[in-house]
Structure 1
Amino acid sequence: MRSTKLVSCRKALLATAAAVAFGQGVTAWAAQGSAVQTSTSLERDEGGLTEIVVTAEKRETNLQHTPIAMSVLGSEDLKNRRIQSLTDLVGGTVPSLRIVPFFSRSSALIVGIRGIVPADPNQPSRDAGVGIYIDGVYLGRSQGLGMALLDVERIEVLKGPQGTLFGRNSTGGAVSITSRKPSGEFQLRQTVGVRNFGGYSGETHIDFPRFANLSLKVDGVLSKRGGTTKNPLGSADDFNTFDRRGIHGAALWEPNDGFSAQLDGDYSYDATTSYYIQLLEKNPAAPALAPLVQVQADRARTADIGVPQQPSIGRTYGVALNLNWTVDEDVKLRSISSYRHLTQSQFDNGLGAHSGPFIPNAAFSRYGLASLRQHQYSQELQLIGSAARLNYVAGLYYYHEAGEDNAWSPNSMRWNADGTVATPLPTLQAATPFPDRASNAKADSYAAFGQASWNPPVLNNVLHLTVGGRYTHDEKSGTLFKVNGAVTDFRFNISSDRFDPQVTLAADINRNAHLYGKWSTAYRAGGANARSINYRAFGPEHVEAWKQG
């Protein structure tokens, strides 16, 4: 765009916040905008560094001896930095992790690691390049990722291809979120807080006493804030508001030491308005802009022109069943079953008058309207064990997803003859009827994977050789049934087979030093482009990486 240099006002996400925590006699104050130094917190005690346990290899291992480039945010990190959703990680909290909204829409997040950032994963026919997991359950869409996080124990950010254990769509890496389990002891943790821009928040976490081998837990979260940039159109919402609410319940049944079953259910509501896109400077040689359009070199507290705007609303809910069976001392079986449902509306008018040169009496202010509806279910079986000098994990995985979306981009404002007045249109105006574009897509993915780590009896047992692989079969299909407002019947139907291996050689030099070299591959599934005029399909994307650490 020759005439403008634009910036989205996301800096206001660093708005300060204060919170008071009640529970076990603890009071804590936190600042959301405080500077952070590292993404991994290693707390010291009298014996030195405490052990940090991670599950990046589908088993519990010591972070120091896990041959994966990763960062970990523990419960203390999350509390101190007021991480209440993935949107709170946009400020570079984790090195190499890039989380940004899709254009000015905070209702959809684009997640990238080490420069691998997918193009337009909002479409149900296109996948992301970084896998997002909650308690082992893959989240298939970028929409809904801004939802409130409910009592998280830790967040593991695995950097680089994770195709063997985490599978498809992990070419950049994976973000694994682990929730706190029911403790079986009565606990009440309550946090309330206030923030600037008229914001407030509250969290309630209740653990109930164990009875009949059953432990119950309930979590509730509420976080709300007004706009950080005022919208001069009084009847419309301000820019960059949010209203997030969520509830989660968990029931953990442990009839004996060798078996456990945990059932989780959650619901989240996420209402946000778009970020404001402001004009930082203007090229003198570019076409003229309307007199009302202002250069705002500093962060804009009020938009130069008021435009129609309302919240984009996302609703997600899901259930998951985790079964763990200890067959004997060295063998464990695990099952992860899940179902999730997502609906997301979009009302994006963040660009306002900055989309092009002034034209007398012309309509302007493109209002991006869209919606998505998606559901998914998955099943994973894992066999985890050890024998002599061998640790291994093997598994089977199935994933199904179906989604439908539509989009329309009418103008919402009109200039007068000399650009000194801008008024909302009585009805939205677009070149095509609603919707301009509409599509659906579904995917089925089948996988078998295994990984084994061997500790050979040489060189004082310091070496570890790990070999693994994953075979995946994908089937995807869909229909583009509206293009430029006209009914169409463009279809795609693709399938692919993929094997992703990995080899790692590691050495425990001493208690505090661990070296490794790793070769691995991963892939992002193929799909189709719903923004093309014929639903053009494309094949999988492959990544190969060599790394050492």
Structure 2
Amino acid sequence: MQQTYFKHSACALAVSAAISGLATPALAQDSTQSEGRILESIEVTARRTVENMQRVPLAVTSIGEGDIENRGLQTILEVQQFSPNTTLQESRATNSTLTAFIRGVGQEDPLWGYESGVGIYIDDVYIARPQGAVLDILNVQRVEVLRGPQGTLYGKNTVGGALKYVTQRMSGDAELDAKLTLGNYGQRDLKLVGQVPVSDKLYLGFGFADLTRDGYGKFLVSDLPGQDLENYNKDLQAFRVTAEYAPADNLFIQFGYDQTDDKSNSKGGYRLLPSLLTDSAPVPDSIYDSYTSLPTKNRVETEGVNLTVTWDVNERTTLKSITSQRENYSPVSIDFDNTPLRIFDVPAIYDDEWFTQELQLNYRAENWNLVSGLYYFDSESCGVFDAILEGLGQSLGLPGLTREVSGCSNSKSTAVYADGTYRLNEQWSISGGLRYTKDEKDSLVRNGLIFSTVYPESGWVPGYVRAPGTGTPVVLDDSENWSKVTPRISVEFQANDDTMYYASYSEGFKSGTFNPRAERAEPAADPEDVQSYEIGVKTDVTSTFRLNAAAFMLDHKNRQYISVIPDPDNAAALNQRLGNVGESDATGAEFEFTWLASQNLSVFGNIGFIDASFNNVFSFDANLNRIDITDNFVITNTPKRTMNLGFTYDMPISTGGLVFTGNYNYRSKYSLTELGNVLEQDGYGVLNIGVNWLSDDGKWSVGLHGKNLTNEEFLVGNYAFLGAADASLPNGYAPGLGGDTTLIGYYGAPRTISLSMGYRF
């Protein structure tokens, strides 16, 4: 019999102490408090229906429109500061591809065919691919972060949690908001949001954003003429149009169309070691400077349509239909070695589209409620990349050498789910649910060597024409299906109107998949499974102090990783296989608080602790004997401690009101690569300060914001292609793939200052 043990870590004991110490009723408001500010109720849709956040038995952070505006948040990446044990980063060589980890669970590699570990949603529409998922904040009502597996209500690929981006509903009035932001590094942002009532039942709305910024650094050497040499720049345009129609009091129809075109350059990485093959690529002076032999241009185009119909059948029953169709296209130039030579260049194309349909039934009775539904998902995820190893080819007497990998991973998924709460009495309730999912996936992979320098399409570099028939053979053409049941159960105790305790168990899974880099036919990897246990308390200790705390443990099984397995037909050849070869676990705790310290001052913060590690990873030796390689693996993008402390101070003045804001966010040391990690980011803290002015009539606003004011340098991604460590060799390593010592770092934003001016017509 397998037994599960909860590690009695210091953070778990701290939560236990907090829970036991909060068993007393909340303090009554005195007359001074009742005349001053008191904590507001925060509504969330974490359980697919509108609820008070303090009554939801799971760890959820909600950041509303006012806080987003006051803190000057510009992209969804900044949300990580305000949610414990959460990491949201840009993926290495792009500005728009998201790397998301919650409680040590995510997906490091964004290649097509791989599924995410954290689900991204815009108004309950699933964003299936990480390309284009670094969302700029435009016309948003709130952002919710749900921590822990959400397999029952949100389905597959939410094993770490879910991010929900909730847009604003229209007010019915004619409005136009314009906002201009100027900042250092040539930042020039324009946002327009408006709405027009066509009738008392039909409203039209739109949003537009033009976001540009010069680079934090430069491409110092590029052998291609006419290139834009800005590195870490931004050039993005986004457009959204919506229509809301209420033909009857109990019927609401919402249509939306959005399009984003990100033309920011591909990011060049910082060479942490000088090249062995060229003197023209020494270690740059700035971490934002780079070299490249590829075009700097990059593009991420995304667009989608969605239709939501909500019908209140009666006071107790609501039917909802959510339909969406989305696609994205991204040609990207990734220079892995970041030199002017074609040592290891990877031009690639990602091409994805997916359709979703959900039918939802919500029922509310006197002492119980139910959320249930049917879900359908159909996607096609395709791509191609060319690993150009020209230097290695020439050393072998070849005109060039390219490994080209291409293919598609097509997926269909159907699910039925139900989740509800039954109130036993005024204090005790039980909630839970089940979801049954049937997954079907077929995959085609082409993989092989081409003995010349090849790009995915003609015109990639000046004068290049892709020869007809250039390509690689089909090595895998297969299909597989899986079915999973993911349960959730929770027990809640409402000690009084202000304090709730809960204990829950939940499961989630990440879809099975075929190896998108397969070199020969191989079976698919089965789905990954996460089992999570959580206890928590949500309490308004007084009318001015709110504390939410949770302790959790999770088991992550059947993790999908590449192993090098000998080819039984050729003992001299090694074959990379994708399989379920890893297991890990994590225990941790999270605290979030809000304190209305005075009539004008609010203090907020969060602390996250986590101990996450692999406990079983295996591969095979040359004799096909199973070997333990656990010591070679680490959990990435997961600091053991995340902490944030901030404040908001309101100051009325004769012309309106000033709001001063600030926060200090600390993240302890974390690793960047799961297998053979050679780079770690030391602990660091980021300081942000801002001030906002709003006129008396609410029409004019001005905001001044400083981010990362101490100019901390911190890694958010890397590439490492190194041989064995050897102190006697130059750079301390033997050459890796491509014949060079390639160790590349990508960094978060430096100190930025911005001034925003807004007007509401």
Structures share a fold, TM > 0.5? yes
**Residue 431 (str. 1) matches residue 423 (str. 2):** no
Q: Percent identity?
A: 26
Contact 1:246–1:267 (8 Å) recurs in 2: yes
Of 61, 65, 69, which residue of structure 1 is paired with 2:55? Answer: 65
Cα distance between partner residues in 1 of 2:385 and 2:407: 9
* CA–CA distance in structure 1, aligned partners of residues 84 and 485 of structure 2: 29
Pick from 456, 459, 465: which aligns with 2:430? 465
Aligned to 1:259: 251
- Which residue does the alignment assign to 1:84? 74
Report the TM-score when normalising by structure 1: 0.81
Matches for 1:34-113 after TM superposition, within 5 Å: 46-89=36-79, 92-113=81-102
1:255 alignment partner, SS class:
strand
Residue of structure 2 equivalent to 1:314: 300
Question: Secondary structure at the residue paired with 1:167?
Answer: coil
- 8 Å Cα contact 1:322-1:337 kept in structure 2: yes
8 Å CA contact 1:309–1:349 kept in 2: the answer is no
Q: Within 1, Cα distance between the matches of 2:334 and 2:273?
A: 23
Q: Spell out the pairing of 1:140-155 with structure 2 (5 A cutoff).
A: 140-155=128-143
Tell me the amino acid that sits aligned with residue 116 of structure 1: V
5 Å matches for 1:273-312?
A: 273-280=265-272, 290-295=278-283, 299-300=286-287, 302-303=289-290, 305=291, 307-312=293-298
2:233 to 237, 241, 252: 241
Contact 1:239 1:350 in 2 (8 A): no
Whether the 8 Å contact between 1:184 and 1:210 is mirrored in structure 2 is no
d(CA) in 1 for partners of 2:448, 2:349: 16
Q: For 2:35 and 2:242, how far apart are their aligned partners in 1?
A: 32
Tell me the distance in 1 between the aligned counterparts of 2:502 and 2:296: 51
Q: Give the superposition deviation at 1:111.
A: 1.2
Query: Once the 2 structures are TM-superposed, how far is the Cα of residue 195 of structure 1 from its aligned partner?
Result: 1.5
TM (normalized to structure 2)?
0.59
Q: Does structure 2 conserve the Cα–Cα contact (< 8 Å) formed by 1:150 and 1:248?
A: no
Q: Are 2:184 and 1:196 equivalent residues in the alignment? A: yes
- State the partner residue of 1:405: 383
Alignment of 1:438-449 (within 5 A): 438-449=406-417
In the other structure, the counterpart of 1:541 is 528
Query: Counterparts of 1:290-369 in structure 2 under 5 Å?
Result: 290-295=278-283, 299-300=286-287, 302-303=289-290, 305=291, 307-349=293-335, 351-353=337-339, 363-369=341-347
Residue 206 of structure 2 is aligned to residue 214 of structure 1: no
Bigger CA radius of gyration? 2
Specify the SS of the correspondent of 2:67: helix
**CA shift for structure 1 position 149:** 4.0
2-structure distance, mates of 1:149, 1:345: 24
Long gaps (5+) in structure 1? 1-43, 355-362, 415-428
1:310-350 per-position Cα deviation (integer Å, ceiling 9, x unaligned): 22201111111101111111111111011111111111236
Does the 8 Å contact 1:307/1:412 carry over to 2? no
**Contact 2:389 2:402 (8 Å CA) reproduced:** no
Query: Deviation at 1:373?
Result: 1.2
Question: What amino acid is aligned across from residue 539 of structure 1 in structure 2?
Answer: D
- One-letter code of the match for 1:475? E
Q: Which amino acid is 1:52 matched to?
A: I
Preserved CA contact (<8 Å) 1:251 1:262? yes
Residues 87/47 of structure 1: CA separation in 2 closer, same or farther (3 Å cut) = closer
Deviation at 1:430, TM superposition (A): 4.7
What is the SS of the residue equivalent to 1:79? helix
SS at match of 1:538: coil
Q: Which residue of 2 aligns with 1:186?
A: 174
- How has the CA–CA distance of structure 1 residues 430 and 395 changed in structure 2, closer, same or farther, with 3 Å as cutoff? farther
The letter of the residue matching 2:182 is: V
Return 212-221 or 476-485, whichever deviates more: 476-485
Report the Cα distance in structure 1 between the residues aligned to 2:386 and 2:441, rounded to whole angstroms: 25
C-alpha distance in 2 between matches for 1:59 and 1:173: 17
> In structure 1, what residue type is equivalent to 2:427?
V
Change (3 A) 1:89 1:369: farther
Give distance in 1, aligned partners of 2:447 and 2:391.
Answer: 25
Q: Is the 8 A contact 2:476 2:520 kept in 1?
A: yes
Q: Would the alpha carbon gap of residues 48 and 382 (structure 1) be closer, same or farther in structure 2, given more than 3 Å must change?
A: same
Q: Give the CA RMSD over aligned residues.
A: 2.4
Aligned to 2:448: 483
SS at 1:170's partner residue?
coil
- In structure 2, the partner of 1:137 is 125
In structure 2, the residue matched to 1:524 is 510
Query: Could you tell which deviates more after superposition, 507-516 or 251-260?
Result: 507-516
* Distance across 1 between alignment mates of 2:62 and 2:286: 32
| Structure 1 residues 207 and 535: alpha-carbon distance in aligned structure 2, compared to 1, 3 A threshold | farther
After superposition, the Cα gap between the structure-2 partners of 1:218 and 1:437, relative to the gap in structure 1 and judged at 3 Å, is same
**For residue 432 of structure 1, what is the amino acid of its counterpart?**
T
Q: 1:430 to 1:195 in 2, by over 3 A?
A: farther
SS at match of 1:77: helix
Aligned mates of 2:138, 2:343 — CA distance in 1: 37
Task: Work out whether 1:494 is the aligned partner of 2:480.
Answer: yes
- Counterpart amino acid of residue 115 in structure 1: G
